[in-house]
Amino acid sequence: MHAEIRVETDDFNIAKEWAAMRARLGGRAGAVVAFAGIVRDHAGTEQVNGLFLEHYPGMTEASIGKILAKASDRWELTDTVVIHRIGELGPRDQIVLVLVAAAHRGDAFAACEFIMDYLKTDAVFWKKEHRPDGDSWIGATGRDRERRNGWEADAR
C-alpha cells in the first residue's frame, strides 16, 4: 500500500493530490474517498479567530504512520494520503486532507473515517485557539475520544 504523510505549513490543492493518487492507482482501485477538514470560526458557542498548530517533526509523522498501518490492517486499502497543516491557520482555512483508495467503496469509506477519528486523538499535534478573550491550548475533546474508542470496541 502506498502511504504518504506530509506535515506542512502551506495550503494543499485537493485536485492536485487527487490527480496524483489516480495516476498511481491505474485500474487497481474502484473507490477513492476524500475528507477535508476546515478551520471553524467557533467552538461551541464561542468565537474562534484562528488556530496555531505545533508538531514534533519525525514523531508526528510516525504517529500518523501508525494510524495508517492500523487502518491497512483492518481494511483492504490500495493507497492513503494524509496532509496536515501546521502553524497559524484562520477560519475557513483547510487544515487536513485524508485520501483513501480501495478496491471497493465500503473499505474506503470506513478507513477514511477511522483514520480521521484516530488523527483527532492520537496524532502528535498541539493546538492553540485564538479567542477574543485570549489564547488557550486545547486538548482532545471527549467526543473525539468516544469516536476513537468506538473503533476499538468494534475490533474486540
Partner 1 sequence: MNSAASTVVTVRFFGSLRETVGRDAVDLDVDDACIAGVRKRLASLLSADELQALSGQGVRVCVNQTIARGNVEVRAGDEVAFLPPVTGG
Cβ-contact 133, 48 below 8 angstroms: no
Q: Which lies closer to partner 1 via its Cβ, residue 72 or residue 121?
A: 121
CB of 103 to partner 1, least distance (A): 27
Residues 50-109 close enough to bind partner 1 by CB under 8 A? 54, 56, 58-59, 62, 84, 95-96
Q: Which stretch binds partner 1 (CB under 8 A): 18-26, 28-36, 102-110, 132-140?
A: 132-140
Q: Which lies closer to partner 1 via its Cβ, residue 25 or residue 39?
A: 39
Cβ-contact 126, 116 below 8 angstroms: no
Q: Is 120 in the site for partner 1 (CB under 8 A)?
A: yes
**To which residue does cell 493530490 refer?**
17
Please tell me the number of Cα atoms within 13 Å of 90 on its side-chain side.
0
* C-alpha angle 33-39-41 in degrees, rounded to nearest 5: 140
In whole angstroms, what is the distance from residue 107 CA to residue 54 CA? 31
Q: Which lies closer to partner 1 via its Cβ, residue 29 or residue 68?
A: 68
What residue ranges bind partner 1 (CB under 8 A)? Answer: 37, 54, 56, 58-59, 62, 84, 95-96, 119-128, 137-140, 144
